[in-house]
Structure 1
Amino acid sequence: MSFELPELPVSDVLAELSSTLKTQDRVILQAPTGAGKTTLVPLHLLQQNPEGKILMLEPRRIAASSAATRMAELLHEPVGKTVGYRMQLENRTSRDTRVEVVTEGVLTRMIQEDPELQGISTIIFDEFHERSLQADLGLALTLQSQDHYRETPLKLLIMSATLQAGELSKALDAPVVISEGFSYPVAIHYLSRPLADRNFYNICREVSNTVAKALREESGSILVFLPGAGEIRQVQSLLEQSLLEDSISSESVDLRPLFGELSLAQQRAAIQPAPSGRRKVVLATNIAETSLTIEGIRIVVDSGLTRRAVYDPGMGMTRLETRRLSISSADQRKGRAGRLEDGVCYRLWTESEHQRLEHHETAEIAEADLAPLALELCSWGCSDSNELFWLTKPNAGRYQEALALLEQLEAITKTSSGHLQITPEGLQMAALGTHPRIAHMLLRAAERGYLRIGSQLAAILSERDLLGSAKERSANIHHRLALFQSAASQKNSKGALFRAQQLIKRWESRLKKQAATPVEPDNDTAGRLLMAAYPDRIAQRRGNTSNYLLRSGQGVELSPEDPLASEDFLVVPALGGASHHRNAKVFMACAIDKAVIYDECLTDIEEHQETRWDSKAERGVAARQDRLGALVLEYQNIPNPDPEMIKQALLDGIRQKGLQSLPWDKASIQLRERLVFLNRFNDRMNEPLPDSNEQALLDTMETWLTPYLDGMTRLEHLKKLNLREALVSRLSWPQQQLLDQEAPERWQAPSGSNIRVNYSNPDEPKVSLRLQELFGLLETPVIAFHQQPLTIEMLSPAQRPVQITCDLASFWANTYQEVKKDLKGRYPKHYWPDDPYTATATHRVRPKG
């Protein structure tokens, strides 16, 4: 096939590339942005090898259509002849098409349907450095097709601007062809100091001010990078105002938004050159970093932010996360200003902040919901992801969670040997090319005769919110369904609504043959179908709040003003929010009746008998519950419950109120204190004593207290307890004897009195008695394996403390005479001998005889 290609920087390596592909089945091309690789490489390879079709993968719809359109222009042909493109809702190919540009999901479907890829000679992965999940999956499947299914060689070319080519080259054993490319110098302007606040409104204001400054100070059109559609709309509004206020002629400047949710026609308008004499300001997400050639750009204003979809396994949802971009992305963005002439790049961060950025973006496979990937692999025939090549391996734990979801959705099942295999329904789900949840819902809708409303729900959940940014919008999904019947409301989101209608037609067409006879939906139909897709997102209201509990145990919240906030049960297909929030925010939901939950989830609902402590009535109660995961659907008290269940409730009440709720008397308190004291000497015992501190007793009540709770249901019944007996029951007979011996309840004084030992301080057991009762006792008494001297508190005849000692011999020798002198003056009738060593101890005023 003969045609002439323009000279672009990549032209210098085209001959080397084609010769390398003749001898190697896998080749990597590294070429900078603007080198011309996306348009020239496929056409050059077509010239060199006119046999077989060339597939080129692009990460985005607009990139696919733009690349195909540009190549067709170079051939002076319409799109769809030699060069065409194919994506989810648009196919511009024919039987003459030799170069087909596809979005990444299309390749996955092609390989699943034909692993041999008959008629395909070369597959090109363009902009592989973006590392989308579909690109990684497509590469893994292509490599297996190349190694195991092909009889004739399948050539694989991976192209990128900023790819870490060495790592991939080593992993694939593929040579690297490098195009140096060419770009004009780009002057970079950093901020002099960091922005104090990077919240939504502040970053939008800073961006709009910088754009206005660039319009005044520089010539040429401007490409502005913002994290998302919300920021784009806000900056557009601010710029429209500043164009008027700063006397910049709004007649000479066109503001063009560019993000994925716009229609292809709107996206193409943004990348077209500005009319003569006019300037263009393109407000774009990272969709404009690579692949696209946006004509006339000389200035780049970079917010430094990007938005990524990150799967949160703890919450079981994907949330959008705004984060700093990487150095490689910043370089890609800057390069857009130097494709035609010397350019300018305004970066809304400091040079020192730039040095601290990550070098490359995280691969999507490391952060994404892995359920679609798991379904594709099961459809391919390998539930174990380790069977395929991965530049970044899927997280093993999250992959297992994805498989668990597929089991719940009946897409896979376990064989008798324990292996996972895809079900016939799972194969149908994979063929639909949408998320497994939505695919499952579509199949359920078709078999029940609700294909139309099922397709509408699937379209709503596959696109951005059809209500757009409408103020005071409810989360009620029925409001979105109403848009398909209300032509007047279609102006709210024309692009998204149009794509949704296309999706509805596509799914109705694909499922029409297997669909049951249509049935008129009722008020419960949407909820029933959504439960098929999101069985884990059934939610129950918490009290009279706008907070809900999901079946999975995750908390979510509605806006308190949302009419849905009065509903007892919801199914929540769309939720999200910042990672630091305790509850996820409900974006879309559908009210459901409890009877519908019983109808749809009957096999998953479990009956539990629960005992609990009623703190108000101070009694144990038992109830029967119907539970669906974390949700309690029904709760009914049991009139004559099992006494053993009530005992458990009583124990729960004691734990809530603490040990002080038990009837502790002097005997039981001392026994517990003796056990705590002697427990310190467990290393000297053959049979250590049980731990008797408060927490240990609370933790083990089932063993030592439960046998004494017969017939008790209320807190007041506990007054009947003999706690000393209950505590003794924890001890064996040898332990009881050891306790009496080494931590005696009483100590016999020389006077003959049996004095209770105070163990309230386990470090210092103490006896308190009148001094006269100690005469004749030369040494301090010792307990606990002769390791612990008793502390002796000596009392006056009036029972007042006069001396405390742990060394009785020292007291007699050094202190007694002073104490005797004082006490003899105050209590002259009492016995105060000069020699305490030989005196007779007495508990009377004077000893007998």
Structure 2
Amino acid sequence: MDWMEEAVALLLQGGRLLLKAYPGAGKSTLFPLRLLKALPGRILLFEPRRVAARAVAARLAENLGEPLGKTVGYRVRLEGRESRETRLLVMTEGLLLRLLLEDPTLEGVSAVLLDEAHERHLEGDLALALLLKVQETIRPDLKLALLTATPDEDLNRALKGEVLALEGEGHPVEVFHLDRPPQGPLEALAARYARRAFLEGEGDVLVFLPGKAEIERTRSLLQDLPAFPLHGGLPLKEQAALLRPGPRKIVLATDVAETSLTLPNVRAVVDTGLAKKPRFDPRTGLTRLALVRIPEESARQRAGRAGRTGPGRVFRLYPEGPFPPKRPEILEADLSRALLLALAFGERLEELPLPTKPPQGALEAAWNLLRLLGAVEGEALTPLGKRMLTLPTHPRLARLALEAEKEGLLPLAADLMALLEEGLEGEKDLMVHLEALLEARRAGRPTRAERASALWRGRLGAPPLKALPHPEEVGRLLMAAYPDRAAERLAPGRYRLVTGPALRLEGGPPYLVAVGAELGEREGRVLLYAPLSREDLLKRAEVALWTGWEEGRLRGYLERRLGALVLERLPVDPGPPTAQHLKEALKGFALPEEGEEVLLRLRFLKAHGVEVEAPSLEDPSWLLPWAQGVRRLEDLKALPWKEMLLSHLGEKRALVERLAPESLPLPNGRRKRLRYREGAPPVLSLRVQEAFGLKETPRVLEGRVPVVVELLSPAGRPVQVTQDLQSFWEKRYPEVRKELMRRYPKHPWPEKP
């Protein structure tokens, strides 16, 4: 039994299969055809990229000896070839999610194959989780297979199926690294090593570059050699030509050639060690491609391409050293669309059988954004959220398109979506970029933005935008997609976002929507904006009563407010203070001395085990009856704090007065106040003459705690501090008497006081 028969048998028996096969084994181009003979219905094969989907479909049809679109067809975004006879359909991962939305039962489909599953794209992981749910609940007969070139334990755990691993026998590959980090332009370095590999070696040369722009720049440096590009935007015929044996050539490819496509006759690889991967950009609120270093698994895959037909060489354009760890996209990406898709299936994203669970912080951010856009209410999809799912883009841009449909501005929406998806740098005014797009369109110059706009116009059924719209019209559309990015100018060069943070922008309009913003700890900056009208902000604003402290006074205003932006204010009577007003006023408030003394007495009792709860200043609702007339912070100090605090104690007030009295009686018939302290006995300060007749130290807490007696001279200067007054009279007083009699002869100094 060959491996394909074994793989088919395992899949038919268990319903789930993880097929690990080396590049070129035929897992994508032979195994699906073998499975087609064993199953009655349709088979869906999903690829992570458009270029791979088209190329794999072409190769499968070629292996059958049929034209593409008959038994084997393909479907990618806005393009496809299939017919009623098509039984094996090759698609991209995103289309699988749309297919599941339209028909969760996948009627007529016998098996679903996910190719290059180890790449761990968010769409691929989500598709796998949803397919597992479908299989467990409504389609137990559905067969699921993951096709991969490298092992992934997270995939193993999620699938819980049969595993078949094929070991390939590659030829030896010699790997060369740079001695130090590359200097100068990447394209010049890649072209130099591609030229060297082509002129010094045999077979084809495969050069891995991050993206289409880098490929074109490198190709311009190799015009005297047969150098060809390979990327997702390449026509199908040109892709197919590169995948067939032919004269020696240099292929300049993105990471699509890493695993998704098998190129014949490659004997040398030039690896820049870079790729463009989807990453959430908090500056724009969108996920876009970012330049990143590849993990070790990718470097090994790239190197393996050189050793399929004979000994090979790999030139790594980076020094030898540790690679960054491999991280599934779910740990890096914005989860708002994935969350929206899960809700459409009646599932919570974090509860799906995903290979890697989503981070809690990213989940919360996704919920917040969807609520802000009106896509969810509570934890359920709204009708608007369901409509947003029909557009294959980020929820922000889907919301923009739906707003444009309502406003009759779909041509403008197509251009804005194209510009925002492509990413804009340099000029901060979005109107400048929009005007440049219109000029290129009028001149017939093809640009990336124009091509992207044409795709969106086809999708939205909109004609091209011909004239530059009013700037505030642009802002109104963007406000629907970026309601959290509206900002008001507070001072020249300084803005306040609706969410609160401050931003800097010199020479901007009074109001704007900051579709690109870099937030800082204290102050951020605007990277890309469109103007907003005050009227559009007022339409979204809410009318509310604001009361609070302002310049030491309690004030009230009727406000039109949008988040942190106060657009209009009308003074009104604030009324009596609330508990919250009092709580704010008491922050940093120094209690008057009489109030502080009561609290010290209560804390003294608590320290000695007497349970008497002091009134809370954190929850000052008990103060409300006393504070009805308070309108200024100074009014708080004038309140009778001693009486308020003691009254709050109710029936325990008598207990406090008995155990921790405010003052003590003296032999002369007068009373003297005690000074209570934190963590120490209270102090009784007396002039020596006031202590005459006081034989022993006074006590509090029903005689359990002696007070500290501070004896003073007639001038009020300290003479003695003691908790043993009897000992003082017997031992120290005679000396004190002699000294003080000379200094204060007019005061009485009896020998036996």
Q: TM-score, normalised by structure 1?
A: 0.74
Aligned to 1:361: 327
RMSD of aligned residue pairs (Cα, Å)? 4.7
- List per-residue Cα deviations over 1:136-167 (Å, max 9, x = no partner): 3333444455566669x5443320011336x6
Show the 5 A alignment for 1:412-811.
420=380, 423=383, 427-461=386-420, 463-465=421-423, 469=425, 472-476=426-430, 479-480=433-434, 483-484=437-438, 486-487=440-441, 491=445, 494-508=447-461, 524-550=472-498, 553=499, 555=501, 557=503, 560-561=505-506, 565-570=508-513, 572=514, 574-575=515-516, 588-599=528-539, 601=540, 605-615=541-551, 618-638=552-572, 641-645=573-577, 652=584, 654-655=585-586, 658-660=588-590, 664=592, 669-670=593-594, 672-682=596-606, 688-690=612-614, 697=617, 699-704=618-623, 707-708=626-627, 710=629, 712-714=630-632, 721-732=639-650, 734-735=652-653, 737-752=654-669, 754-759=671-676, 763-811=680-728
Aligned to 2:164: 177
Aligned residue for 1:38, secondary structure, equals coil
Structure 1's 376 and 827: CA in aligned 2 closer, same or farther, altered over 3 A?
closer
Partners in 1 of 2:681 and 2:125 — Cα distance?
A: 71
The percentage of counterpart residues that share the same residue type is: 35
Show the 5 A alignment for 1:136-151.
136-143=125-132
1:57 deviates by: 0.9
1:58 deviates by: 0.7
The one-letter amino acid of 2:127's match is G
Structure 1's 168 and 598: CA in aligned 2 closer, same or farther, altered over 3 A?
same
Partners in 1 of 2:671 and 2:194 — Cα distance?
A: 98
Q: Does 1:29 align with 2:19?
A: yes
Partners in 1 of 2:502 and 2:234 — Cα distance?
A: 32
Partners in 1 of 2:744 and 2:131 — Cα distance?
A: 107
Show the 5 A alignment for 1:214-253.
219=200, 232=214
The one-letter amino acid of 1:597's match is L
Partners in 1 of 2:96 and 2:286 — Cα distance?
A: 26
Aligned to 2:82: 93
Structure 1's 612 and 263: CA in aligned 2 closer, same or farther, altered over 3 A?
farther
Unaligned residue ranges in structure 1 (runs of 5+): 1-10, 196-201, 244-249, 513-517, 841-849
Aligned to 2:313: 343
Aligned to 1:847: none
Aligned residue for 1:644, secondary structure, equals coil
Q: Contact conserved, 1:678 with 1:742, CA < 8 A, in 2?
A: no
Q: Contact conserved, 2:48 with 2:92, CA < 8 A, in 1?
A: yes
Show the 5 A alignment for 1:54-69.
54-69=43-58
Partners in 1 of 2:661 and 2:690 — Cα distance?
A: 19
Structure 1's 676 and 306: CA in aligned 2 closer, same or farther, altered over 3 A?
farther
Structure 1's 610 and 35: CA in aligned 2 closer, same or farther, altered over 3 A?
same
Aligned residue for 1:704, secondary structure, equals helix
- List per-residue Cα deviations over 1:677-727 (Å, max 9, x = no partner): 342213667761515xxxx54x355533762462x5345666755444444
Structure 1's 621 and 90: CA in aligned 2 closer, same or farther, altered over 3 A?
same
The one-letter amino acid of 1:659's match is F
Aligned to 1:157: 145
Aligned to 1:292: 261
Unaligned residue ranges in structure 2 (runs of 5+): none
Q: Paired residues, what number?
A: 746
1:568 deviates by: 1.6
The one-letter amino acid of 1:451's match is L
Structure 1's 274 and 254: CA in aligned 2 closer, same or farther, altered over 3 A?
farther
Q: Does 1:373 align with 2:360?
A: no
Q: Contact conserved, 2:557 with 2:574, CA < 8 A, in 1?
A: no
Partners in 2 of 1:258 and 1:576 — Cα distance?
A: 34
- List per-residue Cα deviations over 1:633-663 (Å, max 9, x = no partner): 322222xx043159976874x446x434x7x
Aligned residue for 2:80, secondary structure, equals strand
Q: Contact conserved, 2:173 with 2:306, CA < 8 A, in 1?
A: yes
Partners in 2 of 1:801 and 1:583 — Cα distance?
A: 56
Q: Contact conserved, 1:445 with 1:529, CA < 8 A, in 2?
A: yes
Q: Contact conserved, 1:203 with 1:303, CA < 8 A, in 2?
A: no
Aligned residue for 2:30, secondary structure, equals helix
Aligned residue for 2:451, secondary structure, equals helix
Q: Contact conserved, 2:688 with 2:711, CA < 8 A, in 1?
A: yes
Aligned residue for 1:659, secondary structure, equals coil
Aligned residue for 2:168, secondary structure, equals coil
Q: Contact conserved, 1:33 with 1:161, CA < 8 A, in 2?
A: yes
Q: Contact conserved, 1:613 with 1:649, CA < 8 A, in 2?
A: yes
Aligned residue for 1:138, secondary structure, equals helix
Partners in 2 of 1:747 and 1:278 — Cα distance?
A: 105
1:377 deviates by: 4.0
Q: Contact conserved, 2:57 with 2:72, CA < 8 A, in 1?
A: yes
1:593 deviates by: 1.4
Partners in 2 of 1:651 and 1:413 — Cα distance?
A: 33
Aligned to 2:32: 42
Aligned residue for 1:177, secondary structure, equals strand
Partners in 2 of 1:786 and 1:729 — Cα distance?
A: 25
Partners in 2 of 1:519 and 1:190 — Cα distance?
A: 53
Q: TM-score, normalised by structure 2?
A: 0.82
Aligned to 2:3: 13
Structure 1's 439 and 226: CA in aligned 2 closer, same or farther, altered over 3 A?
same
Aligned residue for 1:672, secondary structure, equals helix
1:780 deviates by: 1.7
1:623 deviates by: 0.8
Partners in 2 of 1:598 and 1:339 — Cα distance?
A: 66
1:533 deviates by: 3.6
